[in-house]
Every structure is written in C-alpha cells, then in structure tokens.
Amino acid sequence: MSILDLVAKLEKLPPEQLAKIEDLVDSWMSEQPHDAIPKKRQFGVFKGKITMSDDFDEPLEDFKEYMYP
C-alpha cells in the first residue's frame, strides 16, 4: 500500500475516526524515538571482569572415561 492509497482511504473517514487514528499515530511516535542513533560499543568495557582458568584447555574429568587411554 502506498502513501497515496492510505491518504485516499483517510480522506473517506469521518472526523471521529480520523481523531482516533491521529491519537494512535501520536502514541506510536512517542514510543519510538525516530531520531535516536544507536550508541557505538565501547572497547574494553569488560576488561579485567572476565577471567579464564589456567587449565581451560585441559580435558574435563567428566569425559575421562570416553577418552583414549
């Protein structure tokens, strides 16, 4: 549906329904800030907060029975 089709349909509506549509569009516009630019991610935000154990690459004890001897 093009904008012109939508305008043609809106022109046929009575004023009461146009007021309801206007309220609906206003509520949609207030929910979504159309000018908002997403923030760029900052490098190094979690530096020092995530650690990896020294034996990370070692086989797990739970899988020893499935591994080769």
Distance between CA 26 and CA 15 in Å, rounded?
16
Ordered by start, the domain boundaries in the chain are 1-31
Q: In which band, very low, low, confident or very high, does the pLDDT at 54 lie, cut at 50, 70 and 90?
A: very high
Tokens of 44: 């190094």
Report pLDDT digits (tens) over 9-49: 999 999 999 999 999 998 888 876 666 677 888 899 899 99
pTM for the full predicted model:
0.43
Render 43-54 in DSSP notation, one character per residue: TTTTTTT----T
